[in-house]
């Protein structure tokens, strides 16, 4: 993408120079032809950029009503950018919020714990945290040792 932008910038700079040269020459037809050629190239490059640019963003509404989840979500997006260089697109964000809502059973505290766990261990994504039973196995016999 950067190469494409550099190409457009270089073409735009060259077109600007040709236009200035045309104006300075009081309307020389050869100078105008060179400018028009560069201008057409610039339009083609701009259309190419349109083809690879992302689509319009969609509106992202959190399914959670709790403000603390919104704050944690904002922190999560900042974390992704800072730690992993990831910018979350609107469609990805919407899907992630829906999944977080599902995995947390709509419980704001559980949702915050899921996100905080992922950040604490520097994960690139979050996942459903399962709760293990803390019971001691029934086959455990302390006298056997």
Per-residue pLDDT tens over the stretch 36-51: 888 888 878 777 776 6
Instruction: Give the residue-averaged pLDDT of 21-36.
Output: 78
pLDDT above 70 covers a percentage of the chain that reads 86
Sequence length of the chain is 145
Q: Rounded to 5 degrees, what angle do the CA atoms 120, 126, 130 make?
A: 90
Do 21 and 31 form a contact (C-beta atoms < 8 A)? yes
Distance (Å, whole) CA 145 – CA 107? 43
DSSP state of 145: -
pLDDT at 30: 77
pLDDT at 6 over 70: yes
pLDDT in tens, 72-127: 999 999 999 999 999 999 999 999 999 999 999 999 999 999 999 999 999 999 98
Instruction: Please state whether the predicted TM-score (pTM) of the whole model is above 0.85.
Output: no
Domain spans of the chain? 2-52, 67-120
Among candidate residues 67, 56, 52, 17, the one with its CA nearest the CA of residue 38: 17
Mean pLDDT of the chain: 84
pLDDT of residue 144: 52
56 vs 143, residue with greater confidence: 56
Cα separations in angstroms, 1 against 45, 97, 101, 130: 12, 29, 35, 41
How high is the pLDDT of residue 54?
58
In this prediction, residues 49-59 reach a mean pLDDT of: 73
At residue 36, the pLDDT reads: 81
Given this model, what pLDDT does residue 48 score?
A: 74
């Amino acid at each position: 993408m950067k190469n494409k932008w550099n190409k457009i910038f270089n073409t735009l700079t060259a077109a600007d120079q040709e236009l200035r040269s045309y104006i300075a020459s009081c309307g020389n037809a050869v100078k105008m032809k060179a400018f028009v050629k560069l201008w057409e190239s610039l339009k083609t490059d701009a259309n190419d950029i349109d083809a690879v640019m992302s689509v319009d963003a969609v509106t992202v509404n959190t399914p959670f009503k709790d403000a603390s989840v919104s704050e944690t979500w904002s922190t999560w997006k900042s974390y992704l950018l800072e730690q992993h260089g990831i910018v979350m697109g609107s469609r990805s964000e919407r899907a992630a919020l829906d999944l977080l809502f599902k995995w947390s059973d709509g419980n704001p505290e559980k949702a915050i714990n899921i996100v905080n766990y992922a950040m604490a261990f520097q994960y690139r994504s979050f996942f459903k945290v399962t709760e293990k039973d803390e019971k001691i196995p029934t086959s455990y016999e302390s006298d056997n040792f």
